[in-house]
Structure 1
């Protein structure tokens, strides 16, 4: 990433720390619709261990834990993860949830083939360059077991905020303090190279509304049965 990109990344980290600190539990306790979808997909695939990237304060990680999955929740905001851990104790699922402060620009802190499924709601469309997104998906592939499933969501170029606000290049635009990398369909297809692309589902979320794709893709191979 360029120096400007590093500056943007650092500014976004600080912005999210302040956002979670000023607005604890800002997304509420109900899971996102993509998390509910992911739980059903993961269960059908026989998954037990789930990694969530960009877990924030934990509404989706905690939902997955309540659904019986073992969840590893990663985020670059220590403040958000503190809220997640406290909520896990309150909800009685702290035995199924572990957390890690992690910047996805760095390699994932997990061994090869160590999780059954990965979930990321609007993490890939943060202030990441196209090169960094490809590297992250490569890391997701590395930590997944054969037959593992990856469900992620991203805002796309049909969104009302695409092209609005401050342009940072590489289809990244900053609006209201939040920088977003808007995906086009060729990027989705490129990230699925070597995977089975199961679904690209368009949906809307929030009051704007934000326009997103929910992408489900599967790693080749068969997951070993317990």
Structure 2
């Protein structure tokens, strides 16, 4: 990682920590629409154990637990995960949810073929380089069991914020303190190399609105 990339990564970590501290439960309690989709996909595939990367304060992780999945929630913000744990205890879900402080630039702290499903809502389009994104998807493939499913969402180059704000190179732009890697379609396709690309679904979220893709891909059995 270059010095510039390291500084950006640390600035983003501090930004998320301060944001979660200032705005506890900032995304509310209702699950995201992609999480509801993922739960249906995971259930159809017979999954029981789910890894959520970039879980934040846990609205989706808690939803997966309420739906009967065993959830490992990972995030690089201890503040967000502390909020998640407190919410899990309050909802009687602490037996179904475990948390791990983890930076996705590092290898996932899980054995090979140890989970059946992985979910990540807007994590891959954070301030990660294309090389780091490929490495992360490689790690997802390593920890998934054969036939396992990966559902993730990303903002793409059709988004209104693409090309605005501070440019950091590699299709990364910082706007309002948050740095986003906007995905071109060819990046989605390259990340599915060796997988079955089940779906690329375009949708919108929020007031801007943000324009995203929801990608569902699975490993061969």
Query: 2:39 is matched with which residue?
Result: 39
Indicate the SS of the match to 1:72: strand
Structure 1 distance, partners of 2:18, 2:43, is 35
* Alignment size in residue pairs: 221
Deviations 1:14-61 (A, max 9, x none): 000000000000000000000000000000000000000000000000
Query: 2:146 is matched with which residue?
Result: 146
Query: 1:224 is matched with which residue?
Result: none
Indicate the SS of the match to 2:161: coil
Structure 2 length normalisation: TM-score? 1.00
Confirm or deny that 1:64 pairs with 2:64: yes
Indicate the SS of the match to 1:95: coil
Indicate the SS of the match to 2:18: helix
Structure 2 distance, partners of 1:45, 1:71, is 16
Query: 2:168 is matched with which residue?
Result: 168
Structure 1 distance, partners of 2:2, 2:54, is 22
Matching of residues 84-163 of structure 1 within 5 Å: 84-163=84-163
Q: Which 5+ residue runs of structure 2 have no aligned equivalent?
A: none
Structure 1 position 2, deviation (Å):
1.3
Matching of residues 196-211 of structure 1 within 5 Å: 196-211=196-211
Matching of residues 5-24 of structure 1 within 5 Å: 5-24=5-24
Structure 1 length normalisation: TM-score? 0.98
Indicate the SS of the match to 2:28: coil
Query: 1:189 is matched with which residue?
Result: 189
Indicate the SS of the match to 2:95: helix
Deviations 1:113-146 (A, max 9, x none): 0000000000000000000000000000000000
RMSD: 0.3
